[in-house]
Structure 1
Amino acid sequence: MLAEIAILKHLYPTFTLEKYESYLKEMVPHNYKQLAIYEHEVCVALTGFWTGFKLWSGKYIEIDNFIVDPAHRAKGLGKKMTDYIDVKAREQGCTMIVLDAYTNNFTAQRFYFNQGYIPKGFHFLKMINEDGLS
C-alpha cells in the first residue's frame, strides 16, 4: 500500500509517506483494504474499503478515498472498482455499500448516482483539530 502514495497525492497533495505509514498501521488491523488498477505497472486508480457492522444496517462495506488519476478518467476504471466492491459486498453477505462524497463534488455525485448509489442522509462532523487533516 505504501508504494501507492503517488496516486493519493491527487486527493492529499501534502500527504507524507510517514503520515501514510502511521495511518495504515492503525487502519489495516481494523479491516482496511485497498483495490488498485494498474496500467503499465503504474497505479492509475485506487480505493480503500472497510467491512464493518452497525446496529441499523448489519454488515456493510464502506468505500474510502476513491481516486482515478485525472489522465485516466472516462475509461471505465471507476465503474470497474465499484463493480468489484459490489461483488465483494454480496459475497460477504453485506446489506449495503456506503461512501461519503463532498457536497461540492458534483462530478463524484453524478458518478455515484449512475452506479446506483443514493443519498440516505447527512454525514455530520464536528471539527476538533483542522491542522490534523490530510
Structure 2
Amino acid sequence: MNRTATPAYTLREIAGLPAMLAQYPLIRQLNPLLDLERYEELLRIMLPQNYRMVGAFSESGTCVGLSGFWIAAKFYSGKYLEVDNFVVEEAHRSAGVGKLLSDWMLQLASQEGCHTIMLDAYVTNSAAHRFYFREGFHIKSYHFFKTLTP
C-alpha cells in the first residue's frame, strides 16, 4: 500500500531486515535502552512471525514516523491488527504524522478483514494515551508482564 498522505509525507511499508535496521534511531526514541544488536536480534525473531513495518517519510526521504504491526487472530478479538512500537520523530509530532500512520493501519486492517486493532502503550506515556483515546481506542484489559531471568 503506497500513497502520498499529504504534500509533506509519503507512507509506505518498510520491508526487509536492512530497511528496518536503518530505522533504529527512530525506534530508539521509544526504546532508549534498546541497543542495535538487540534490535537486530529481535527483528530476526519477529520477521518470520509476519512482523511488518510502515513508515511516514518526509519530502527529503527521511523516515519521521513509523509503526510495526502484525495481523493475527485470538479468541477474544477475532482477526486483528496489532500495532507495535508506534513512534514519531519529536520534531514532527503534532504535524499529523501519527494520524496518517493510524489511518493507514486502519485501512489495511479493514482490507485484511480484521475485526479489531489493538496495541500496548507504556503506562507512563500519557501523550500516547491521549492520542489513542482521540483515535477511538478504549481500554479493554490489562496486559500483565513478568520478567523471567535465565
Q: Answer whether TM exceeds 0.5 for this pair.
A: yes
User: What's the CA shift string for 1:82-115, capped at 9, x where partnerless?
Assistant: 0000001100111100001122221111100010
5+ residue gaps, structure 2, are 1-19
Structure 2 residue 68 is the aligned partner of structure 1 residue 35: no
User: What's the CA shift string for 1:6-25, capped at 9, x where partnerless?
Assistant: 11110222433222221111
TM-score, scaled relative to structure 2 = 0.82
User: What's the CA shift string for 1:46-82, capped at 9, x where partnerless?
Assistant: 1100111112222101000010011110000000000
Structure 2 residue 103 is the aligned partner of structure 1 residue 83: yes
For 1:13 and 1:90, locate their aligned partners in 2 and report how far apart those are by CA, in whole Å.
Answer: 33
For 1:56 and 1:16, locate their aligned partners in 2 and report how far apart those are by CA, in whole Å.
Answer: 34
Amino acid at match of 2:31: Y
Match of 1:6 in 2: 25
Which of 38, 45, 68 is the aligned partner of 1:19? Answer: 38
TM-score, scaled relative to structure 1 = 0.91
1:80-119 → structure 2 map (5 Å cutoff): 80-119=100-139
Report the RMSD for the aligned CA atoms in angstroms: 1.4
Secondary structure, counterpart of 2:22 in structure 1: helix
Question: Which range moves more in the overlay, 19-28 or 58-67?
Answer: 19-28
For 2:115 and 2:37, locate their aligned partners in 1 and report how far apart those are by CA, in whole Å.
Answer: 35
State the identity %: 43
Secondary structure, counterpart of 1:53 in structure 2: strand
For 2:120 and 2:92, locate their aligned partners in 1 and report how far apart those are by CA, in whole Å.
Answer: 22
How many residues are treated as equivalent by the alignment? 130
Which of 55, 58, 71 is the aligned partner of 2:75? Answer: 55
